[in-house]
Structure 1
Amino acid sequence: MGILDGKAVVVTGAGRGLGESYARHAAAAGARVVVNDVAGAERVAAGIGGAVAHTGSVADPEQAAALVELCVAEFGRIDGLVNNAGVTCFAEPWDDDPAAVREVIEVNVLGTMYCGTAAARAMRGGSIVNVVSGAMLGRAGAAAYSASKGAVASLTASWASSLAPRGVRVNGVAPLAWTPMMDADPGRHEVGSAAGPPDRMAPLVTYLLSDLAAGVTGQLVRFLPDKLHLISQYAAKRPVLVRERWEVEDIARAFEDELEPEPPGRDRWRV
């Protein structure tokens, strides 16, 4: 008996890398899986017993809806969605290419939204797992990717609140693994041994898809081969200063005496 026996799960961006590992691990735990990707989906699905492939782009809302419809048509239900599909680009702010930025936002943010909203219409209980990144904390040289993953983190919190009455849990995972995407990362050599193989990241996603995680929703989970911890959502930082009217001099004094700004950190995203 597997912990996902009887469940039907969609995994986007599952033609290679992390998505392929998530799909294979979920299937090994008993799930029936729809493997989505613009390339490689048919190969992965063929290697998973009972899986089906979908080759449309999640950035197309019609294809995202068709992906969920395929899962329901093939398996009679949808119990889980792993929003893993993503692209990245690396550039300093003055070199960011508008076309590359648009692609990152369309796939990472809109693709996640399109798949999630389609799944929300069809799900009766279950789990949505959004793949975010430590870059959501702000990574130098990757503004578009950082912004996209920050948006998905906020989306995760919003969906968790909205879908709780329907019994649908929504969480975000921020894995660190050596994948084909990392081959294009100019900082890949700095990551070094901290990034493990993709299959080391899959157990967390399977856990969140399962009934073992019945009480877990609205969380952002950072997962490295040797580390597991939660990431706080944005919240008011103490102290909260109150006065009837604020002038420029009052604000300046507050920053000098009581408020403690945190300096930007190039490596904060690695934690």
Structure 2
Amino acid sequence: MAILAGKAVVITGAGQGLGRAFATHAAAAGAAVVVNDVDEPLAKQVADLITLRGGKAVVSAGPVQDPEQAEAMVDTCTAAFGRIDGLVNNAGIRYQAELGQDDPGRMRELIEINVLGTLYCTNAAVQTMRRGSIVNLGSVAMVGQPTALAYSASKGAVASITAGAAAELQDKGIRVNAVCPVAWTRMSAADTKAVHSGPPETIAPLVTYLLSDRAVKVTGQLIRFANGRLHVMGQTSPKEPVLDSDEWDVESIAEAFERQLELEDPAWVRWGVGR
């Protein structure tokens, strides 16, 4: 039996790129799919392709940063397929701009789509979802990437949303994970690592797995998948030693940093996301 047989999923930003790959792969694995995109003709092309291949798909076009559209996507899924079992928060934008020269309006738009869109769609889905899986789109840029500060901030927020939602929803049987992929798409054109990586279709099997019941024990994870390499990313935790004192002043703090606390390279250095 197909791994997603009998399941209904909503995939945002599915008109092209990663979202299109996720939608077609999930449909081939047996899922009924709600194809969302701000570009309705593109969304319809994907839905028609799925239907032509013998799958089930409907369109719910509109911007994810509109909470009414987020609710409409879920309503479309339950009306068309009687249920919602999965949500992929894929919709997002990215651009490069040096700090101090960035445009505030552009910053706001990115945060609204990448962060509020993820929050609104998740909030709408869990009102109806009875057990299931939510897959967010993260990025290693969350550790801080020069000339992409707004994007980095948005993906840091997505990581926090993933961890918080996974903890809150575990008793309801809803799993929440984030995929941090590298793949060549129109949006990733400014990322040199993505330019030399594989197509979106290489990422799709991971998302399909996370949507399936085979991944029932996987939740609250940040999962890196790039250039054939798959691994789980470590999350924030204290670094030993933890120093304890009844009184701290500038001198004792300086002493701690100079002689006792072991500093490490910033995450953006370790991940190679800086210049």
Partner of 1:225: 227
Instruction: Give the Cα–Cα distance (whole angstroms) in 2 for the partners of residues 241 and 77 of structure 1.
Output: 52
Provide the TM-score with structure 1 as the length reference: 0.95
Contact 1:130 1:152 in 2 (8 A): yes
Matched, 1:129 2:131: no
Structure 1 position 260, deviation (Å): 2.5
Contact 1:201 1:225 in 2 (8 A): no
Matched, 1:70 2:76: yes
Structure 1 position 225, deviation (Å): 2.7
Taking only the aligned residue pairs, the percentage that are identical comes to 57
- Segment of structure 1 superposing worse, 165-174 or 241-250: 241-250
Indicate how the Cα distance of structure 1 residues 176 and 270 shifts in structure 2: closer, same or farther if over 3 A, else same: farther
Contact 2:184 2:194 in 1 (8 A): no
Partner of 1:58: 64
Structure 1 position 96, deviation (Å): 1.3
Q: Read off the aligned partner of 1:160 and give its amino acid letter.
A: A
Instruction: Give the Cα–Cα distance (whole angstroms) in 2 for the partners of residues 104 and 240 of structure 1.
Output: 37
Contact 1:139 1:266 in 2 (8 A): no
Partner of 1:260: 262
Q: Read off the aligned partner of 1:91 and give its amino acid letter.
A: A
The residue correspondences of 1:100-249 to structure 2 (distance < 5 A) are: 100-183=106-189, 185=190, 187-188=191-192, 191-193=194-196, 195-249=197-251
Partner of 1:2: 2
Instruction: Give the Cα–Cα distance (whole angstroms) in 1 for the partners of residues 124 and 46 of structure 2.
Output: 23
Give ranges in structure 2 of 5+ residues lacking alignment: none
Structure 1 position 269, deviation (Å): 5.3
Instruction: Give the Cα–Cα distance (whole angstroms) in 2 for the partners of residues 99 and 267 of structure 1.
Output: 32
Instruction: Give the Cα–Cα distance (whole angstroms) in 1 for the partners of residues 161 and 272 of structure 2.
Output: 19
- Segment of structure 1 superposing worse, 5-14 or 223-232: 223-232
Provide the TM-score with structure 2 as the length reference: 0.94
Partner of 2:20: 20
Partner of 1:30: 30
Instruction: Give the Cα–Cα distance (whole angstroms) in 1 for the partners of residues 137 and 143 of structure 2.
Output: 14
- Provide, for residues 117-153 of structure 1, a one-character-per-residue CA deviation record: whole Å limited to 9, x for no partner: 1011111000000010111121111000000000000
Matched, 1:91 2:97: yes
Instruction: Give the Cα–Cα distance (whole angstroms) in 2 for the partners of residues 270 and 98 of structure 1.
Output: 23
Indicate how the Cα distance of structure 1 residues 269 and 204 shifts in structure 2: closer, same or farther if over 3 A, else same: farther
Instruction: Give the Cα–Cα distance (whole angstroms) in 2 for the partners of residues 262 and 238 of structure 1.
Output: 11
Contact 1:140 1:266 in 2 (8 A): no
- Provide, for residues 234-271 of structure 1, a one-character-per-residue CA deviation record: whole Å limited to 9, x for no partner: 11111111111211111111110121333444572559
Contact 1:83 1:112 in 2 (8 A): yes
Contact 1:58 1:85 in 2 (8 A): yes
